[in-house]
Amino acid sequence: DIQMTQSPSSLSASVGDRVTITCRASQSITRNLNWYQQKPGKAPKLLIYAASSLQSGVPSRFSGSGSGTDFTLIISRLQPEDSATYYCQQSFSSPWTFGQGTKVEIK
């Protein structure tokens, strides 16, 4: 199984800050990497697919990059509504696996 490792596990940042979350796969997954946002008590929501494609309706302050084993999610100017847990997920090979999540808090 492909292991997905996110860092950091949590972070605290101020409104307007640039936030970077990384995700590393245990083997190459080319660009088959998705990012989800989950708020408390809610289902995950797709933000980014295929490493860097922005899902329709998602604000442009979210962006993704990377290929192979190393990927990044960037929030360019953090907003209060971005307080959530973010998960990466590989869609390269079954079983589909997720990172452990990164909790983003607003200072």
- For other proteins, the binding residues (CB under 8 A) are 31-32, 34, 36, 43-46, 49-50, 53, 55, 87, 89, 91, 94-101
Cβ of residue 80: shortest distance to other proteins, in angstroms?
23
Closer residue to other proteins (CB): 60 or 94: 94
Closest approach of other proteins to the CB of residue 14, in Å: 26
| Contact criterion met (CB below 8 Å) for 86 and 104 | yes
Side chain identity at residue 97, one-letter code: T
Distance CA(99)–CA(16), nearest Å, equals 26
How far, in Å, are 1, 6, 103 from residue 40 at the CA level? 28, 19, 11
Tell me how far, at minimum, the Cβ of 92 lies from other proteins, in Å. Answer: 9
Q: Return the number of the residue (32 or 66) whose C-beta is nearest other proteins.
A: 32
Q: What residues form DSSP beta bridges with 5? A: 24
Question: By C-beta, is 1 or 81 nearer to other proteins?
Answer: 1
**Backbone φ and ψ of 78, nearest 5°:** -60, 135
